[in-house]
Amino acid sequence: MPKAFTPKVVTANALLEGDVIYLASDDRWVRRLDEAEIITDEAIAQLRLLDAQARASEAVGVYLADMAPTEDGPQPKHFREEFRATGPSNYHHGKQAAG
């Protein structure tokens, strides 16, 4: 029996800066997870992924990440995505300095 589809977001790294980015519902790349489009339909997720992968001049390493939908936006279901969403861990800069 196939595994049930879980909600996802399209994520990647910005080509020039290397920052973690997420695809928003209006096709913009955003740097904040709470602005990402959460996709609940498997077919739509695959189409969004293919579209994002075709934008190689903007992003690298595009993939679908499992998320839990909440009132505050998507929340990571795995440690890796939580780590990516909060930014570098070696010292406070970038996303961590702004928070």
Residues 32, 56: contact at Cβ < 8 Å?
Answer: no
pLDDT at position 52: 98
Q: How confident is the model at residue 99 (pLDDT cuts 50, 70, 90)?
A: low
For residues 72-82, b (16+ Cβ closer than 10 Å) or e, as one string? ebbbbeeeebe
- Tell me the pLDDT tens digit for each residue of 35-56: 999 999 999 999 999 999 999 9
The residue ranges of every structural domain in the chain are: 8-98
Confidence of residue 1 (pLDDT cuts 50, 70, 90): confident
